[in-house]
A and B are shown apart, each in its own frame.
Chain A
Amino acid sequence: MHIKVSFPQVQYFSRRYILECTHKSFLLMPHTLVDNSKLWENVLVEVELAVSKANFSTWFKGTYILKQEEGIVFVSVPNAFVKDWLNNKYHNTILKILRSFSEQVRALEYIVTKEEGRKKESSEAPRTFTQQSNTELPLHDFYINKEDNLNPKYTFESFVVGPFNELAHAAAQAVVKKPGFAYNPFFVYGNTGLGKTHLTQAIGNHIKLAHPGKKVYYLTSEKFVIEYMNAVSVNSQKVNQFKEKYRKYDVLIVDDIQFFAGKDRSQEEIFHLFNSLYENNKQIIFSSDKHPNFIPNLEERLKSRFGAGMIVDIPNPDMESRLAILRSKVLQNNIPVSPEALEYLASSVEGSIRELEGILNSIVCQFQLKGLELGLNEIKNLIKNSIKPKKMVAVKDVIKIIANFYQIEENSIYDKTRKKEVVKPRQVIMFLLREDFNISYPSIGEKLGGRDHTTVIHSCEKIKEELKSDNLLVQEIAEIRTMLV
């Protein structure tokens, strides 16, 4: 008698358990699964009527709908036994019920996934022996996932979006939604320390979440080159292994590809790899510190391929974005820094986010040592040494470099000549002095042979205008800038 009474309870528990699991999956992927959890709940209610209680709790516990794609419903199951059995025994039943709820459903597939809920069960088990006084081995998890090389700390949640990088961010989101189709290849470039690695790794991490079956792999071009060299130096079998290894990935992320410059054999290999992945609609993501067209010693066929999908630039962050980044970092580290101090930091540390982080870290360190709230003055003192002085350069040097670049006589710049080959370099000099070194118009004019400040203004405007249409000029200026640094 007693046993009979307890049966409904068992069942209640199992149902609730399953619902909890479905709920959990909903939390994991907020964008698609509102319908999925509801749908699966409905299916389970009907399945429960069709099969025995014991069967129900053994085979349907911990299952949920992972995702729906083009009419195929992917159901997550806790282990391969369940997968096999659902496939053999209940496949038609489940499919029929699913169809009755949603007519788009055409097929059903099962995927074995790690079950967080099952872990919870085992963690309740008591430890069987006491070890109060024993120290543990300092074992550390591999922080970086070995299978895909992705660092889990890089996510979109921790990525601060500002006007400077919102295009890159939006494009990355599109890639996550439709890897292989949206923008392929996806090419991000920008100066060092602006979040290229963060963005590309975040794409990888989020694709893993949103599309559990996809194989993602992240590597730097340097690693690719080294691996390729090693493979070549051993034997042809190794080379084949190497080729196969990279062709099996659904999403391949190659960071810092500017290091491929001048490595012809590796370029050839990445070219073939690119073609093979691209043909199979596999997503390819590259990052570099330059636009592909300006990477020196890179083969034309690679440049054109890199440009085939989407190329986005991450420029230097503006003041507001720097402030937003600082705020989010301060919040993460939970340190009290006054708003004025943050604003001061944001305005005085220009350039890379990495630099900004470095300075903030030293502030955190100080705070932990002294345990005080840091005011504006303390911070000013603190970062006195960390801030790079504004670019200081002798105007003469700039003129010399640019004159050399255009292969003209340095003195001709100062002359009154209006020869075409001299006018352009002169205008470029004025433009760069103004843009990069913030020298006032009159003083530029004075230093270039006593010209009027309106001449200088005109020259700057002209170059600015030409930059919009003249790609060659863009390239030249970029090259000159690298020489000036």
Chain B
Amino acid sequence: MKIECLKEKLSASLIYAERITGKNLTLPVLGCILLEAKDNSLTIRSTNLDLGIEIHIPVKIEKEGAVAVPGQTISQFINNIQGDKNIKLEVVDGNLSISSSMGSTTIKSMSSEDFPTIPMVPKEKSFEIVPGDFVKGLKSVWYSSSVSGIKPELSSILISSEDEGLVFAATDSFRLAEKKIKTKKQNDFGQILIPFKNIPEIIRVLEGMKDSTTVHLSKNQISFSADGIYLVSRVIDGIFPDYKQIIPKETKTEAIVLKQDLLHSLKLATIFSDKFNQISVSVRPEQKVFELKTRSNEVGENVSRLIATVSGEDVDINFNYKYIVDCFQSIDVEAICLQFNGINRPVVIRGVSDKTFMYLVMPMNR
């Protein structure tokens, strides 16, 4: 293999590919990135057998061929070399040699023969997405996924189609986030469960895609393709819990507060929280009181009173403040609405006038 290409393009692609290489796998070649020069383009491929990526960039080819190069090494090197716009890559004695005006380098490489292929998802079920919207959906909910991995369905993000667009949801069974994104025309594809640990890479790659992205879906795989990039992820063959039935339909107590106010008070309150991150919320509609209380035996205690519009019944309820703070990143509007349903039922948090996002938190029982 002997090629010449723009350093910038190669470097950007290698950053994507490097993150998807397989670390700590028994097969060393999975820690590599495959470079394959053929038909005037360079294919960059990597996989950890959970995610796979293939990127095509146009290059000048003097000799076709392929090589598997340790991902971290080549990515770090190409990102940090200075000088020319162009660089030359060549395989010499099975190793990759890189030359520019600033010098030459040889990276120990492996045979491309053992490098796996990336499965192509059949084109039966496919639809178009706007990458920006899709990323927004993922980012709005993915922090709610379960990190434990005992239940694969809970360690995934649910994406399902509705009449008006896409619904994203995630839960670790202590809280639940749901975001609806409107799309122009949505094919009905049922539901997809994407493993939570693949989400950061999917977000990263999708953020680099500008225009419309094509999604292909099969029982085991989902793929995103646009701009010469092809990303494929495993999907979970399972069924997300029936979460719609736990969304409270009525509200006993409602409080509307400014997001900034609540965030400030939470920050103060957390200084005094105990090791369970417990925070007590008191709502007294008749006295127009909305209070946050925290107490720690070592540090002291704090009561913050907020300006809020409150209605309904009195309520005293405890939460893990971390769960509450988490959802602020997904709420874009100024005011937040908290709907309580008694001490053993989850609280619903939404942005006022924002119907697209909903967050449920289970109270702490003590």
- Chain A positions within 8 Å of B, measured between CB atoms, are 10, 53-55, 57-58, 79-85, 88-89, 112, 114, 119, 122-123, 125, 127-142, 145-146
Instruction: For A122, list chain B residues within 8 Å (CB).
Output: 149-150, 152
Chain A residues near B320: list those with CB within 8 A: 131, 134
CA distance A167 to B127 in the complex (A): 48
Sampled A-B contacts (25; CB under 8 Å): A57-B27, A58-B25, A58-B26, A79-B50, A79-B234, A80-B221, A80-B234, A81-B47, A84-B117, A114-B238, A125-B148, A125-B149, A133-B365, A134-B174, A134-B362, A134-B365, A135-B344, A137-B174, A138-B246, A139-B171, A139-B173, A139-B246, A140-B241, A142-B241, A145-B239
Instruction: Flag if B234 contacts A135 (CB, 8 Å).
Output: no
Query: Do B362 and A136 have beta carbons less than 8 Å apart?
Result: yes
Q: Could you tell me if B171 and A84 are in contact, using CB atoms closer than 8 angstroms?
A: no
- Asked if residues A133 and B276 are in contact (CB atoms below 8 Å), the reply is yes
- The residue among A82, A85, A125 with the most chain B CB atoms within 10 A of its own CB is A85
| B152 in contact with A54 (CB, 8 Å) | no
* B364 & A133 in contact (Cβ 8 Å cutoff): yes
- When distances are taken between beta carbons in the complex, the residues of chain A under 8 Å from B116 are 81, 84-85, 89
| Contact B246–A137 (Cβ < 8 Å) | yes
In the A-B complex, the 3 residue pairs with the smallest Cβ-Cβ separation, listed nearest first, are A80-B119, A58-B27, A139-B241
**B301 → chain A, closest Cβ, in Å?**
18
| Majority SS at the chain B contact face | loop
Q: Which of B217-244 contact A (CB under 8 A)?
A: 218-221, 232, 234, 237-239, 241-243
Looking at the complex, which one of B28, B118, B364 makes contact with A134 (CB distance below 8 Å)? B364
Question: B residues touching A (Cβ–Cβ < 8 Å)?
Answer: 25-28, 30, 47, 49-50, 52, 114, 116-119, 147-150, 152, 171, 173-176, 218-221, 232, 234, 237-239, 241-243, 245-246, 276, 278, 320, 344, 346, 360, 362-366
Question: Which one, B27, B243, B245, B362, contacts A135 given CB within 8 A?
Answer: B362
**Could you tell me if A54 and B150 are in contact, using CB atoms closer than 8 angstroms?**
no
Instruction: Give complex CA distance A10, B28 in Å.
Output: 15
User: Which of B26, B47, B218, B219 meets A57, CB within 8 Å?
Assistant: B26
Report chain A residues within 8 Å CB of B362.
Answer: 134-137
Query: A130–B274 Cα gap in the complex (Å)?
Result: 13
Given contacts A58-B30, A137-B175, A142-B242, 18 further A-B contacts (CB under 8 A): A53-B26, A55-B114, A80-B220, A81-B47, A82-B49, A83-B119, A89-B116, A114-B237, A114-B238, A125-B150, A134-B276, A135-B344, A135-B362, A136-B174, A137-B173, A137-B174, A137-B362, A139-B246
Complex: A82 Cα to B22 Cα, angstroms: 14
- Please name all residues of chain B whose beta carbon is closer than 8 Å to the beta carbon of A128 when the two chains form the complex: 147-148
Between B219, B220, B234, the greatest number of chain A beta carbons within 10 A of the residue's beta carbon is seen for: B220
Closest to B236 in A: A114
Chain B residues within 8 Å of A127, by CB: 148, 150
In the complex, the chain A residue whose C-beta lies closest to that of B320 is A134
Contacts of A123 on B, CB cut-off 8 Å? Answer: 149-150
Give the shortest distance, in Å, between B116 (CB) and chain A (any CB): 5
CB distance from B297 to the nearest CB of A (A): 16
Complex CA–CA separation, A139 to B344 (angstroms): 14
Closest to B155 in A: A122
Q: In the complex, what residues of B have CB within 8 A of residue A145's CB?
A: 239
Per the bound structure, the CA–CA distance linking A55 and B320 in Å amounts to 46
- Selected from A84, A131, A138, A141, the residue in CB contact (under 8 A) with B239 is A141
* Partner among A89, A125, A135 whose Cβ is within 8 Å of the Cβ of B365: A135
Residues of A within 8 A of B360 (CB): 137
B365 touches A81 (CB 8 A): no
CA distance A89 to B320 in the complex (A): 52
Which of the residues A54, A84, A129, A136 comes within 8 Å of B173, measured between beta carbons?
A136
B50 to chain A, nearest CB (A): 8
Bound together, the chains give a CA A123 to CA B148 distance in angstroms of: 8
Question: Given A133-B276, A133-B366: A54 and B147 within 8 A (CB)?
Answer: no
Contact A141 B241 (CB under 8 A): yes
CB of B119 within 8 A of CB of A84, answer yes
Please report the C-alpha to C-alpha distance between residue A10 and residue B276 in the assembled complex, in whole angstroms.
Answer: 41
Q: Do A137 and B147 touch (CB < 8 A)?
A: no
Q: Are B346 and A137 in contact (CB under 8 A)?
A: yes
Q: How far is the CA of A186 from the CA of B320 in the complex (A)?
A: 56
User: Which residue of chain A has the shortest Cβ distance to B344 in the bound complex?
Assistant: A135
Could you tell me if B363 and A135 are in contact, using CB atoms closer than 8 angstroms?
Answer: yes
Residues of A within 8 A of B47 (CB): 81
A88 / chain B contacts, CB cutoff of 8 Å = 117
- Report Cα–Cα, A83/B117, bound state, in Å: 10
Q: Is the CB of A140 within 8 A of B49?
A: no
How far apart are the CA atoms of A139 and B118 in the complex, in Å? Answer: 36
Distance A128 CA – B220 CA, assembled complex (angstroms): 28
**Which of A54, A82, A132, A135 counts the most chain B CB atoms within 10 A?**
A135
Contact B242 A141 (CB under 8 A): yes
Report the Cα distance A55→B30, complex, angstroms.
11
| A136 / chain B contacts, CB cutoff of 8 Å | 173-174, 362
- Judge whether A140 and B117 touch: CB under 8 Å: no
What B residues does A137 contact at CB under 8 A?
171, 173-176, 243, 246, 346, 360, 362
